[in-house]
Structure 1
Amino acid sequence: MSDTSFDARALRTAFGAFPTGVTVVTTHDPAGNPIGFTANSFTSVSLDPPLLLVCLAKTSRNFAVMTQNSGFAVNILSETQKDVSNTFARPVEDRFSAVDWTKGPYGSPVFSNVAAWFDCSMEQVIEAGDHVILMGRVQAFADNGLNGLGYAKGSYFTPGLAGKAVSAAADGTVELSAVLERNGSVLMLGEDRLHLPTCAMDDTDPTATLGAYLQALTGLPVSVGFLYSVYESRADSRQHIVYHASIGEGEPANGRFLQPGDVAPDRLANPATADILRRFAAESSIGNFGVYFGNETAGKVHPVARKA
């Protein structure tokens, strides 16, 4: 598309294809009260001088305070802090009661257990359409050596867990599967014994391999999202990596959409598929998802909340 009259929702979705980290930007209001908001429009700008930037919508309730203040801090959230991200993304009155924070060396609130923080003086406020760019000069910072929380396509992801999946699958035969969702229904293949769409992993990026397979299978646009399950099946001695994925409108060339809660376990190919569908049905109802690591019968779910 080249027309400048874009659909705002479609453009936002396209921008969301770029994976980012998640930050909370903080400062104090004139009365000394801490304020903050979740932002993923953060980037480093320069090492000499040390500059960074974040973008702020002009409609933000923090706009006046943020643009008139002498400084702000950027807290890069760690992969265990998705709840902090959600808290500061919602209109909660006392957001700071949910976090452990102190004043940074330059005065803005910095959080404990973040991947890193930067306490900045305000270098420049730049007009940018329906946003402004807050350019900050770093006055102090700390790097805690933790993995950052990721965000892409409307969902959180945890780079540490994704790396663990690749490591777990380094040896032996690996199969890639998808919980391919549309409005809560999941695409299933097979007649007598139903199974998730599955392909063999090759030496390329697993999400690219799976995405190409799913699009060829269904004939519809597919977006592969967050990691959903990693398990070793003792029945077939294979590693299985399952992703959540979404699909565009239209009738798929293969398979059919079923509500996961309506599929009887004895119709499924194996107990692992039954567990995946049961967990997906439960997690979908509350909008919070996790990543499972283990085997086909026992393991642990690492919570990864999806932003509403």
Structure 2
Amino acid sequence: MTPESIDPRALRDAFGAFLTGVTVVSTRDCADRPIGFTANSFTSVSLDPPLLLVCLAKTSRNYATMTGAKHFAVNVLSESQKEVSNTFARPVEDRFAAVEWSEGRAGSPILANVAAWFECAMEKMVDAGDHVILMGRIMAFENSGRNGLGYARGGYFTPILASRAVSAAAESNIELGAVLERDGDVLLLGDQTLSLPGCDVKEGSPTEILQDYLEGLTGLKVSIGFLYSVYEDKSEGKQHIVYRAFASEGDPAAGRFLEPKTLTAEQFKTSSTADIIARFALESSIGNFGVYFGDETVGTVRPVAAKVAQP
């Protein structure tokens, strides 16, 4: 591959493999009105002097305001603030009417209940292709101790959710499973009767065990994504923990990649697998994923993932 042949969409998807936090960058416009937008292109730069940076698309509606601002704030969203992120990612005129906030020392809007916030003076701006890098010198900050909201591969995740689920199931007979996807299709085992790939686990990191199993099974490169279902099958006496996972290109050594929406419940080995695939087909169509908690017949879906719009 040469620089000239790089597909921007494919490159963006590859960048999306990197897990980040989610922030709302805020300032005031020339009329002293608060403005803000969701961004995950944020990083620390230096402790001495205290510097950070965020990146902003030149096509952003906030470009003129941000590049003209003397001060701005970076609000690191907590894991309970998915809706705040969505609010500041949408083209809503008065985004601040939907959230609780206060003024920082320099007047920048500081959101309530965030994991941390930083108020900065604009240090410098660096042109960077179709973006501009805004470097800020930190004037004040606060760390609340809350867990941050995560983002990867086009969706939100809450890191503590998966660890709690695995800990709760630690004393049970656990079977790990995967909705192993590629280009919207899911890997399923069997010919007449279909099932998800899965393996038993006794000790060790569940995600590492599952990744090793899937790569050995398929011969493909596999990355483990987010928790997808946690349920007890009372008839088997097993606790099932199912993750989303992503496969590389190539023909799998075992199983077939099938389009979920073309399958019927009667084709699956268990009703719980049929439910997982049906839910995955629905959630894929709307781009909003969740985690199921319950048993093989009754449970609830906790929404924790949705696509983020560009600022």
TM-score range, shorter chain: 0.7 to 0.9
**Match runs of 1:22-101 below 5 Å:** 22-101=22-101
1:278 aligns with 2:300: no
1:202 and 1:126 mapped to 2: Cα distance? 51
* Normalised TM-score (structure 2): 0.87
State the AA in 1 paired with 2:35. I
2:110 and 2:288 mapped to 1: Cα distance? 27
Aligned to 1:289: 289
Residue 206 (structure 1) shift: 3.1
Aligned to 1:7: 7
Aligned to 1:132: 132
Whether contact under 8 Å (1:155, 1:225) holds in the other structure is no
Aligned to 2:242: 242
Whether contact under 8 Å (1:184, 1:259) holds in the other structure is yes
State the AA in 2 paired with 1:224. I
State the AA in 2 paired with 1:226. F
- The RMSD of aligned alpha carbons is 2.5
Whether contact under 8 Å (1:228, 1:242) holds in the other structure is yes
Residue 250 (structure 1) shift: 4.8
Which runs of no fewer than 5 residues in structure 2 stay unpaired?
A: none
Aligned to 1:177: 177
2:207 and 2:219 mapped to 1: Cα distance? 17
Residue 243 (structure 1) shift: 1.2
Residue 304 (structure 1) shift: 1.2
Aligned to 1:168: 168
Aligned to 1:105: 105
Task: Please list the CA deviations of residues 239-276 of structure 1 after superposition, one character each: whole Å capped at 9, or x if unmatched.
Answer: 22111223345543322344445444344222321322
Question: What percentage of residue pairs aligned between the two structures are identical?
Answer: 65
Aligned to 1:143: 143
2:3 and 2:275 mapped to 1: Cα distance? 46
The farther-off stretch of 186-195 and 74-83 is 186-195
1:106 and 1:239 mapped to 2: Cα distance? 52
**Match runs of 1:193-272 below 5 Å:** 193-201=193-201, 203-272=203-272
1:261 and 1:129 mapped to 2: Cα distance? 40
Residue 85 (structure 1) shift: 1.8
Aligned to 1:117: 117
Task: Please list the CA deviations of residues 175-225 of structure 1 after superposition, one character each: whole Å capped at 9, or x if unmatched.
Answer: 221112345443221234321111233655433433343334334444432
Residue 28 (structure 1) shift: 0.9
The farther-off stretch of 23-32 and 102-111 is 102-111
Task: Please list the CA deviations of residues 103-145 of structure 1 after superposition, one character each: whole Å capped at 9, or x if unmatched.
Answer: 2222111112222222222222233343332222222223333
Aligned to 2:158: 158
State the AA in 2 paired with 1:9. R
1:87 and 1:74 mapped to 2: Cα distance? 16
Task: Please list the CA deviations of residues 20-76 of structure 1 after superposition, one character each: whole Å capped at 9, or x if unmatched.
Answer: 100010111101122222111212233343322212223323222212211101111
1:21 and 1:254 mapped to 2: Cα distance? 36
Residue 10 (structure 1) shift: 2.9
State the AA in 1 paired with 2:32. G
State the AA in 2 paired with 1:54. V
Aligned residues: 307
